[in-house]
Structure 1
Amino acid sequence: MSQQQMRLSCFACKAKKQRCDRVFPSCSRCLRTDTECDFPRSRRSQVARPMKVQELQSKLVKLEDEIASLKTNNQVSDKNVSSDPQQTDHSPKIISEHGPATVLHSHSASTVVASPILTNHGLTSDVVLELTKAYFDSLAYAAPMIHEDRYLASLSQPPAHQPPLCLQYVVMALGAYASSCSPEFVESLYQNAKAHATSEDPDGDEHDLVTLSHTQCWSLIANFEALHMMFTQALTSLCRGIRIAQALGLHQLGEESEGAILASAQERIILEEQRRTWWFLFLSDRLVCGTTGLPLCINQEDVTALLPTSEKAFADGHSEFASPLKPLHSFTTLGSSILTVRVFIANLFHRVLNHTSCISPGIHIKRDQHEFWDRHCRLDNELSLCIIKLPENARIGNPIYNRDAVIVNTELQAAIISLHRGAIWNLRFSERNSCGEEIKRQQAHHSQERVMNSAQEIAHILRIAGAYSTTFMNPILIFSVYLAALAFIEDFLDTQKEQSQDTALMFLSALVTIGVRNVVARSLAKQVAKDMSHVGIELPPDIALQSDLPSLFSAEVGVAAANVSFRCFI
């Protein structure tokens, strides 16, 4: 082969990107460097690999999408500059509301990136972390819908990937409340939370700005307002949270697909957080509407969401069978989830309060007595069955203190008190009760025994928990303590037992102690003291009561008295 016939450079020159004189069998450079010279026999095509072309195309499409997303987010930020929104993930899907954090079991979360807006309000990273941890340590058990590890991990992300500011503010407001911070500071955090939540409400074509975090925010705002006896505002905030949840389809998180079963721990946690948010709204709706006499916001027939899994499965992201929604008066399988137990009890409590809502002293009851007593017996049996079917982690064990068990058992005993006090007053004021006087006395005696047994049980729970416990800051539990106190006051009126007087004074002292930090307890302590004075119980001189507080049962705070107005002291 001649040099004229060889038109391609040798491999050695080509690798070094040097000029080759193409002399066969060895070029001059290879001869000079004593390198083996080898020439290609044909020209190789330089077409790119098909896979590489596809990769470049996909990268280009992804880059174009990111640029378009950045433009959209910048436009939204400019439009809402007055309200300072920090939520840049505006997808209507409820997949990852707390940013891309995937860290589990990292309670330390030592590095918190505070948003510039928080910093401008004097909330440094240390303050944000301290108040957030205070909330999860003291109050999150009452609203077990936010995964603590995911939330804390998300705070170490850039501000654009953190939870919305409205949720951060209300979490810190509740944490500051639990930490006994100054009322002005707590109020400032609450006002900021509500202002940001209101500014981020859907408006026109901006419905995709609302996420799961906004649902959680409104439910916590309602919780805060109830703690501060702003019940009318709490009802409004709760309804907002419920409607947002329904718009996101949380009430329809039904049967699990094969993909959900095989999902990662992080994906299972997100799905369970959505379910828990819905069921917390459900039980709040039952308790709030039951104690105020207002109609329910959630129709049970429209709910297809699966019930929550256990607290351990939620914390660890483990796969666990989630029960479908069954009739809520069926207690065959309560499971081990405390939240599921609370959902059942809240629904039962609402039915009891609705059953007794028409009973008031001095007003003769004109209702079908057969229907009343049939319903009374059904509810009484369901309450007894519920106590029997409680899982072990929901039972009171002395001296072991379990605040979940405190909530569950206190609400159950309060429901029994409400049911049987209603039965007693129905016997006194019913115009259509045709049974004989002896039967009336027996039924009244039985109901009075049930009332006193439940009141004694609440007294036992209160002694275990202690009045200083943040557990009894829950308005429903404070209401339960008030019902138990009324039971002992009424028993003292009938029997003049010194034990009933002492226990009633113990309840009053507990309400006064809780009332140091809780306005609802202060108002009810004032009412209990007034009732004690009516029956001749002398108040201790060290009991200090505020006289300028409105009554919890007045129209000033937006609470109907229907379910407790059958007291004999008005």
Structure 2
Amino acid sequence: MEAEHPPLRHEGGDSHGQAGLLSCAQCRSRKLKCDRKRPICGRCVKQNETCSYPGLRQRALGRRKTVRDLEERIALSVDPGVPGLLRQPANQLIDLGIFEQLPSWDVIDQLTALYFQNIHAGAPTLHQATYTAALRLPPHMRPPMCLQYIVMASAAATSETYRHLSEPFYQRARVYAEADELKGPGETLTTVGHAQSWCLISAYECHVYAIFTRASTSLCRGVRIAQMLKLHQLDVQAPEPLPSALPPPRNWIEAEERRQTWWVVFLADRFLTSTTGWPSLVDERHIKTNLPSSEESFTAGIANDPPILLSNGLQELEQGRGAQLSPLAIRILAVNELLHALDHSANHSTASGTDDTQNGLYWRRHREIDTNLTTLTLLLPERLHLARNPRSLDAILIHICTNMATIQLHRTALALLRRGTPVNHLNNDTMIAQSEARLLPAAAGVLAVFRAAGDDGVGTAIRNPLLSFAAYMAASVFLEDCSRVSLVGPGGQDRSGRRRQSEESLDYLARILVFFGRSSSLVRANAFQLAADMKRSGYDASMMDKVLDQVGTLGGATSEIRVSGSKPMLFCPALTQTSTAGPAEGSTFGLQGASDSWGHGGGNLGFDAPFHGNSVAGPSGTGRGVALSMLQYGAPEGLFLQLGANPESFLL
């Protein structure tokens, strides 16, 4: 053990002779001049202190540095979240509101470029030139730290090189965003940058972890900040009683960035509401912000697009002016109609009573939504036709949303009509025929998206929560067609061709759900539900065995799939086996390099942006229940319905 006092070094010469040259210990400790009188110096006499003279000349060497001391100092200077990054000293960074050293400019630039290459198309909130330039401004003029970190985290999740930075950067983004909430009375929190940050944080939580509960609460913050900033009423004509906290925009780019931010928040709310079934946070009746301009205009900073409100968007399509609407604007219209169809299906009880007024209102709304979906399907601008642009993100999402809405709307109608619910002034058989005629083309439209993705893109597409459920919905339509349609129709009509086509389509969708369910809990849940439907209908009982084998391979047990009396939710991580360790080793928003015996391969089709990417980590296992059968009754409030039903309804 080391001595408490520093060691003494002996100088040459007689110790007694040298002692006379030394000052007393008291004067030496205070660095005062000593007259060196013996036995007591003059200063100690005045101060009435004990005077002592050392017997040896000494020189302090200081305490020896040990290996442990050096290790502790290094540990304090290294950021545990990011290997290779050192913390800056306690005060320079904290004064700027930064808690640790940022990555090198080379890393920041590469991640920022990756963000605009891979993520921006799905959530076009940031103006690339403006944001990139702002990173070089003085620290107090840069984008909020939470925004910088979630941009880099989202980009890192799409890169093999930087994936290890994704999780710590996401955590830092949350830390900074939550820290800003505690600063001041709200001026730090309520900025466009913070609305953008929470929206991107929500997207990351949804698609990287598949934790919809956390994603929803994060989005709530983004929606409320956007509303406090009056982003939903940027183009209102009459002045509002509560002014916005934002200063007037400095130029058109800044004004359009605010519009883009609002509509991305709107899209996120609609997608998450459609997925989970929770109530929407945004009432479209309050929106007085023009639909976003095209990406070309936004990038160039030139206002080429006419101002159009959400309420007038479908009218522009009906009147043949669809070219004036940007692809993002039409995507907004399609997602909005999907939510309308889901909400309308959830209100099916108004059509089952004896009140003719309610009954009439229900079917009138049914026809209105159906007309809107037809408009979106038939009057799309040529650049959004899936056949011409099979890899256009906007074209893909528009076709998925409109076809899913059509399936949901007419499946609910058929369930009501076959149950004998009357339709005012119309024949039930006529309505049944009309709805049946709309289902197969809608299912074929969903199938076309996956076929257009090709072998390289189907693995990426199927992991999108929205597209994953779309695959199940379309497969259930083909299964119902196979079960209901006989080989010989009225008058000896040969229906073998139609049935064979439905069987082939069902087989294609079932196989990709089973295969890609190995690495995604959401896909796996849809595969299990389809298997349960197929077994119940008597079409293919072996499908269930394939799914159960898959669960066993992943370490699950059959008992975990059996249904209990409770109703857990797939998107509630507390009720499933959840990984919180971040993205899995070697995982990405896309599935790279994987292929199966049917030739379904991985790749990157551009689905890896927020709200159209894959979930590659998060809940594992299949959960503790399965969704109610769409064949039994099709009117879920959300795409991922509450899981669970009566145990006797499943043939396990």
TM-score (norm 2): 0.61
- Secondary structure of 2:157's aligned partner: helix
Identity %: 30
Q: Which of the numbers 362, 365, 368 marks the counterpart of 1:372?
A: 362
Higher fraction of helix:
1
CA contact (8 A) 1:272 1:314 kept: yes
Report matched runs for 1:66-215 at 5 Å. Answer: 81=94, 85-86=97-98, 117-119=101-103, 124-157=104-137, 159-179=139-159, 186-201=166-181, 203-215=183-195
**2:15 paired residue number:** none
Say whether 1:279 aligns with 2:263.
yes
Deviations, residues 30-56 of structure 1 (Å, cap 9, x unaligned): xxxxxxxxxxxxxxxxxxxxxxxxxxx
Say whether 1:482 aligns with 2:496.
no
Which whole-Å CA distance do the structure 2 matches of 1:234 and 1:284 have between them? 10
**1:443 paired residue number:** 431
Which whole-Å CA distance do the structure 1 matches of 2:339 and 2:404 have between them? 11
**2:331 paired residue number:** 342
Which whole-Å CA distance do the structure 1 matches of 2:387 and 2:432 have between them? 31
Change (3 A) 1:144 1:127: same
Extract unaligned runs of 5+ from structure 1.
Answer: 1-76, 87-114, 257-264
Residue identity in the other structure for 2:225: I
State the shift of 1:471 in Å. 5.4
CA contact (8 A) 1:472 1:478 kept: yes
Residue identity in the other structure for 2:453: A
**1:396 paired residue number:** 386
Report the count of equivalent residues: 449
State the shift of 1:435 in Å. 8.4
Say whether 1:297 aligns with 2:281.
yes
Which whole-Å CA distance do the structure 2 matches of 1:519 and 1:152 have between them? 36
CA contact (8 A) 1:364 1:430 kept: no
Deviations, residues 525-549 of structure 1 (Å, cap 9, x unaligned): 3433343343332349699455759
Change (3 A) 1:193 1:350: same
- Secondary structure of 1:353's aligned partner: helix
Change (3 A) 1:423 1:431: closer
CA contact (8 A) 1:359 1:425 kept: no
Deviations, residues 497-544 of structure 1 (Å, cap 9, x unaligned): 343333223223434566566543343234333433433323496994
Change (3 A) 1:434 1:150: closer
Change (3 A) 1:315 1:401: same
CA contact (8 A) 2:510 2:530 kept: yes
Which whole-Å CA distance do the structure 1 matches of 2:420 and 2:216 have between them? 33
**1:245 paired residue number:** 226
Q: Which of the numbers 500, 503, 508 marks the counterpart of 2:502?
A: 500
**1:562 paired residue number:** 637
- Secondary structure of 1:144's aligned partner: coil
Say whether 1:319 aligns with 2:306.
no
- Secondary structure of 1:557's aligned partner: coil
Which whole-Å CA distance do the structure 2 matches of 1:558 and 1:389 have between them? 39
Change (3 A) 1:144 1:478: farther
State the shift of 1:141 in Å. 1.2
CA contact (8 A) 2:297 2:304 kept: yes
**1:223 paired residue number:** 203
Change (3 A) 1:506 1:174: farther
**2:54 paired residue number:** none
Change (3 A) 1:254 1:403: same
Which whole-Å CA distance do the structure 1 matches of 2:344 and 2:433 have between them? 20
Change (3 A) 1:558 1:315: same
Deviations, residues 72-106 of structure 1 (Å, cap 9, x unaligned): xxxxx979949x834xxxxxxxxxxxxxxxxxxxx
| Aligned-pair Cα RMSD in Å | 3.9
Which whole-Å CA distance do the structure 2 matches of 1:479 and 1:157 have between them? 44
State the shift of 1:323 in Å. 1.5
Which whole-Å CA distance do the structure 1 matches of 2:518 and 2:107 have between them? 24
Change (3 A) 1:338 1:294: same
CA contact (8 A) 1:328 1:347 kept: no
Say whether 1:466 aligns with 2:454.
yes
Change (3 A) 1:313 1:289: same
Change (3 A) 1:181 1:344: same
State the shift of 1:200 in Å. 1.4
Which whole-Å CA distance do the structure 1 matches of 2:106 and 2:477 have between them? 47
Which whole-Å CA distance do the structure 2 matches of 1:376 and 1:359 have between them? 10
Which whole-Å CA distance do the structure 2 matches of 1:177 and 1:495 have between them? 46
- Secondary structure of 2:376's aligned partner: helix
